[in-house]
Amino acid sequence: MNPAIEAVSISKTYHDLVSGRETHALDDVNLTVMHGEFVCLIGPSGCGKTTLLKIMDGLLPSDSGTVRVEGKTMVGPGPERAMVFQSFALMPWRTVRDNVAFGLRLRKTDKSATREAVQHYIDLVGLRSFADSYPDQLSGGMQQRVGLARALAVNPDILLMDEPFGSLDAQTRNLLQVDLERIWEADHKTCVFVTHAMDEAVFLSSRIVVMSPRPGRIHEIINVDLPRPRNDQTRTDPRFVELTAYIWDMLRGMIVREEDAA
């Protein structure tokens, strides 16, 4: 079986046409994500995590290298992938139900199948009582649940998530991590998840990809050997604490070396 995603020798440089400045975001990144894995990307700010995720989704071209999805060279966004952003990106004039249905309607899915899928995923993220509410009537955590339901409703094989809980308070973030773990356990979709939070990466991941400061390269890949399913008790497991501390020591060392070199 082919891997779900293969990023082969990916490099990317941004060019500012006004200032003439170049920013070398990624350099020769190679990463393989297998079916059913939950992989987190973590690293110092500006290390290219989001850039790599967007390249995997086909939203951004690389300067060199190839992304293969299910063994086929990727040429742009595809129906087997769905993206969840940090910004909720909900349409404020549409209800929860209509926001979740949006992708299905774009794909001209049968109306009956759309209704069934929308209700299923609204129930899955715990928003049954808010299906006819509008985004401005929801908390930030509830809005992010809508964004997740919208991505899941199109039934992608691969879910790409760009710091989806990054703007939320700590309590809400922890609750959504547990929800996402529960949802992932249901069908083990392939997930690539960008985060800046060490504990979040440890809680969710099968593997953690630690990226180096710009230009982003893969510094280390860590297997997370915590048992599943994970829950609030996972955070008190000595191995959870050990892995979180290990990643923090690694990132802190990178940041200190980068500041010393500046």
Query: What would the mean pLDDT of 172-191 be, rounded to a whole number?
Result: 92
Residue 262 has pLDDT above 70, yes or no: no
| The pLDDT value given to residue 261 | 61
Domain residue ranges in the chain = 5-80+157-261, 91-155
Least confident of 32-36, 163-167, 176-180: 163-167
Query: What would the mean pLDDT of 220-226 be, rounded to a whole number?
Result: 96
With bands split at pLDDT 50, 70 and 90, how would you rate the model's confidence at 87? confident
pLDDT tens-digit readout, 55-74: 999 999 999 999 999 999 99
| The pLDDT value given to residue 97 | 96
pTM of the model: 0.92
| The pLDDT value given to residue 256 | 76
| The pLDDT value given to residue 86 | 82
Query: What would the mean pLDDT of 140-152 be, rounded to a whole number?
Result: 91
CA angle, 223 then 225 then 228, to 5°: 125
Euclidean distance between the first and the last CA atom of the chain, given in angstroms as a whole number: 45
pLDDT tens-digit readout, 192-206: 999 999 999 999 999
Distances from the Cα of 203 to the Cα of 87, 184, 218, angstroms:
22, 12, 20
| The pLDDT value given to residue 259 | 64
Query: What would the mean pLDDT of 224-247 be, rounded to a whole number?
Result: 96
| Percent share of the chain, pLDDT over 90 | 75
With bands split at pLDDT 50, 70 and 90, how would you rate the model's confidence at 146? very high
Record: fold of 5-80+157-261: Rossmann fold (3.40.50)
pLDDT tens-digit readout, 123-135: 989 999 999 999 9
